[in-house]
Amino acid sequence: MSLLKSNSITSVPPVDDSGAVTTVKRGPVAVPSTEKIIWAIGGGKGGIGKTLLTSNLAVFLSWLHKKVIVVDMDLGGANLHTSLGINNPTQTLSDLLYNRVEDANDLIQPTSFKNLSLISGAHDPTGIANMPHVQKTKLGRKFRELDADFILLDLGAGTTHNTLDFFLMADKKIIVVTPEPTSIENAYRFIKAAFYRMLRASTPTPYVRQLIEQAMDQKNARGISTPKDLLKEVIRLSPSEGELLKSKMDSFRFSLIVNQVRTSAESKIGTSVQIVCERYFGMHVDYVGFIPYDNCVWQSIRKRVPFLIESPNSTAVTHLESVLRNLLKN
Ligand SMILES: Nc1ncnc2c1ncn2[C@@H]1O[C@H](COP(=O)(O)OP(=O)(O)OP(=O)(O)O)[C@@H](O)[C@H]1O
Ligand SMILES: [Mg+2]
């Protein structure tokens, strides 16, 4: 079935509303025209749907006539290729990282979807678990040189430096969370780690870096327990450094998707996370929507076909469209 007409989604399947979750608005999706954009999809916890959402958002974007490359940055557990129905990737990021391949374009593999290609994750995670910073910068530069409109990075679980740095490198930082307390806990841990790592990387001043490091330790002797405390302390020592730090803090924002929602109460978790982040970190969060828990989603994984293709009339797809529309808005 055709979901598309030119650059907008004009025909979306009717909502199969179970009553448990609310419906979403439908209409054309405006897509920015020429800019190359890197999106990173992370969230701290494993099994929450990062890979699934990366692959389905990528297929959706490719349907909107955008040239899309998905990159499997789950260096310890690459499986993005499987969710796109690809068996054994011939070349992976390992080949680039170990200089067996010079040009990242040589790693690109076609998928069965027009406009959508894949760069598979590393096959040898042990050697690149702690990638030197210079290597990460080089990789980021190579991603920007790729011939694509959108590059989507599927991140692994956890808060390793690799994962945080690729998250921070993206133009659009997307965090996936599920309503489970463990997922919410890990999401906050991920947000905090990414936020302080960004601040630390952006200041050249040793004593400010030191204060940021102390702030990351909850039991620090200075009693800095929130970013606001940190800012106060830096301003006390140097108002100009404080100004710089504040502008960095203000620049940090991310988009939030709640996945595997089963009740309308669970869909509100996005707003709660948004409020907590704004109050605690003073950061801006775009809550772009939720995806319901839907049997068609896990069933599609078994078939190794994106649920967008397998179940285009599902509620999950309707919500995915709304999420994509919001992601493209800002
Ligand atoms: N909305 C949903 N409805 C039903 N099942 C879902 C949904 N989202 C995710 N799942 C289930 O969760 C599983 C894990 O998803 P996925 O592999 O995308 O997680 P992940 O966050 O990438 O995990 P990892 O960190 O281990 O790579 C899927 O295989 C699917 O069975
Ligand atoms: Mg994954």
5-26 pLDDT, tens per residue?
434 443 333 333 333 444 444 4
206-262 pLDDT, tens per residue?
999 999 999 988 888 888 888 999 999 999 999 999 999 999 999 999 999 999 999
| CB-CB contact of 212 with 199 (8 Å) | yes
CA gap 78, 51 in Å, rounded: 9
Q: What does pTM read for this prediction?
A: 0.90
pLDDT band at 176 (very low <50, low <70, confident <90, very high): very high
**DSSP output for 98-119:** TTS-S-GGGG-EE-SSTTEEEE
Helix (H) or strand (E) holding 188: helix 181-202
Q: Over range 141-158, report the average pLDDT.
A: 94
pLDDT band at 31 (very low <50, low <70, confident <90, very high): low
Domains of the chain: 35-325 (3.40.50.300)
pLDDT band at 27 (very low <50, low <70, confident <90, very high): low
The total of other beta-carbon atoms located within 10 Å of residue 45's CB is: 22
- Residue 50 Cβ inside 6 Å of ligand 1? The answer reads yes
| CB-CB contact of 227 with 215 (8 Å) | yes
- Residue 74 Cβ inside 6 Å of ligand 1? The answer reads yes
- Residue 297 Cβ inside 6 Å of ligand 1? The answer reads yes
- Average pLDDT across the chain, whole number: 87
Ligand 1: which residue has its CA nearest to atom 24?
Answer: 46
- Helix pair angle (227-237, 206-216), 10° resolution: 160
Q: Give residue 23's pLDDT.
A: 45
CA gap 19, 183 in Å, rounded: 25
| CB-CB contact of 315 with 294 (8 Å) | yes
Q: Give residue 57's pLDDT.
A: 98
